[in-house]
Each structure stands twice: as C-alpha cells, then as structure tokens.
Structure 1
C-alpha cells in the first residue's frame, strides 16, 4: 500500500520524506516507485502526485560502482 502525497508549490522531496518517514534516507525508494520524478527538478509545482511506499526495512542505500 502506498500513500499519495499531492505537492504544494515549492515542495522538495527531502522535506516530504522527512515529514512522512521521519528522515530523508528513503529518497531512492520513493524515486523507484515514481518513474520520472527525478526529472522534474528539485522544487515541485503544486499538484504533482507522489507515491510514498510503506517501507518496513531500512532505506535502500546507493553504492556507486565504477564497473
């Protein structure tokens, strides 16, 4: 189950995650269920639907790899 958040003008994902999850470490998880969200920039206009998944385990940690 997911929660749908409707953005207000000037919202940023870090702050949305902080309010919903209590921290902003789940950004990758939110991007994974919202294809194209990262292409909208840092500040969102009003009216964008963002799916906030229920996360029962620790946040997905991005580990860069050179190959």
Structure 2
C-alpha cells in the first residue's frame, strides 16, 4: 500500500489515473474509497494535505496478440 498526500485541487479519480496503470484503473476509485473510510465525505475536491491510502491492485493480465494475416 502506498500513501499519497493530496495537493490543493486533487480529486480521487485524477490521483488514480496518475498512480495506477491503465489496466488497473477501472475499479481503482472504488477500491481507494474502500481503503479510506470517510474520504467520500470530503467531497469531490480533496483538501490539501489529505492523506490517501492507495491500495495495491492486481496487475492487468496480458492478452496474447493473434495475427490473422502474416
């Protein structure tokens, strides 16, 4: 688990977009809220200095590329 200290104007979805890999992002916001009880009560824009726990998320599975032609 990582810890992030919010800067003025930070939003949870933006933090998740910057911190997590592309394949991890679909459920990242929900998992961050689950790991941070009461975070949603602060509103969409976090106050500067808010501590946000960023839980470890499973790595995306790679999909093999199938080439039909050549």
Q: CA deviation at 1:9?
A: 0.6
Structure 1 outlier segments of 4+, above 3 Å? none
Q: How many residues align?
A: 57
User: Please, what TM-score do these two structures have when normalized by structure 2?
Assistant: 0.73
SS of residue matched to 1:54: coil
Which whole-Å CA distance do the structure 2 matches of 1:44 and 1:31 have between them? Answer: 13
Q: Which runs of 5+ in 1 are unaligned?
A: 59-67
User: Please, what TM-score do these two structures have when normalized by structure 1?
Assistant: 0.77
Task: Give 2:15's aligned residue.
Answer: 16
Greater gyration radius? 2
Q: CA deviation at 1:57?
A: 5.7
Higher helix share: 2
